[in-house]
Structure 1
Amino acid sequence: MNCKIVVLYFSKNGSTQSIAKHIARGIESVEGCEAMLRTVDGLNKDTDPQDPIITIEELKNCDGLAMGSPVWFGNMAAPLKHFWDQTSSLWIAGSLIDKPACVFTSSSSMHGGHETTLQTMMLPLLHHGMMIMGIPYSEPRLHSTQSGGAPYGATALSTTSPSLSDDEAFLSKQLGKRLAVTSLKMKRH
């Protein structure tokens, strides 16, 4: 059984993309699961995407979704919000109901708005009827990390480079693995 999970992100400087790649590794560590890295267009077409631009059809047909954005004033980035504003046809059809989802983010400061940004990304997913999961506190590194990671989703502190700390990378992979295991279970039933 092939379970396709979309890892959708917008990244301006590479940190959010780094989380996306680690989540994808976690997804693909689960037999039968495939990660599809996708991005969205910048509003001014000023970004040079390194992964394919998501289509509504790909979102409709996914078995699970991980979505990420850099922190922009405590919210998801406008290009990602713009994409979700175009998904009314999926909402009307109920195409995403009961599909598992998770969220992730990065910022350049410790208190830059990680948790509020994760919450803003959850809102359209809840409206679409998706089942949102985070990182449970049974994950020991969630207790000890000094940089990123939250019960709401994977996070990273990107002060100097898009590279993730060991804890950020590990927690991102674990979130991807949890999403994959759940998506696979849901697809079988």
Structure 2
Amino acid sequence: MPTTNAPPEILTLDRLATPIGTALLVTDEQGFLRAFNWTDYEAAMRAWIARRYPKARLTDGKAPPAVRGPFEAYFQGDPRALETVPWRASGTAFQLKVWETLCTIPAGETLSYAGLAQRIGRPSAVRAVGLANGANPVAVVVPCHRVIGTNGSLTGYGGGLPRKRWLLDLEGAALKDQIAA
């Protein structure tokens, strides 16, 4: 479900209150999640949408139940709820491979950037894997937050390390370091 040839014409922006801030869910007219972010990153997300889907019209509305429902269940404590969310992403073949591989990391588990590079068959591409991970437009559904440092420490997350910690705690992942909330 990650790719499509036809760009969307209409995108719907939904706002969902969560324990760690208001989430932004952007879906297309077919009900696929196209973007996810937090309201504190809304301007950057809108700019990304304008670059990636320049002909699409962004309107306010509700995400379809197949998207919104799993997000509600996830933030209420079901760590596997997002596995059913339909998503599509626009990216390079390398990015898509990284994003698809991220989806193989089960809730409650983590993987290092080096481990992710090995899983895609490119063990020397750790930096490129990190960049692809950071470019993931449907974070949380494509669980980039499950990627940590080789030493087990938390490392970058576009939504901020306190959110990453919260997401991993929700999923029951064991971590070595502690960060201030």
Task: Report TM bin, short chain.
Answer: under 0.3
Bigger relative CO (Cα 8 Å, ≥ 6 apart): 1
TM-score (structure 1 length as normaliser): 0.25
TM-score (structure 2 length as normaliser): 0.26
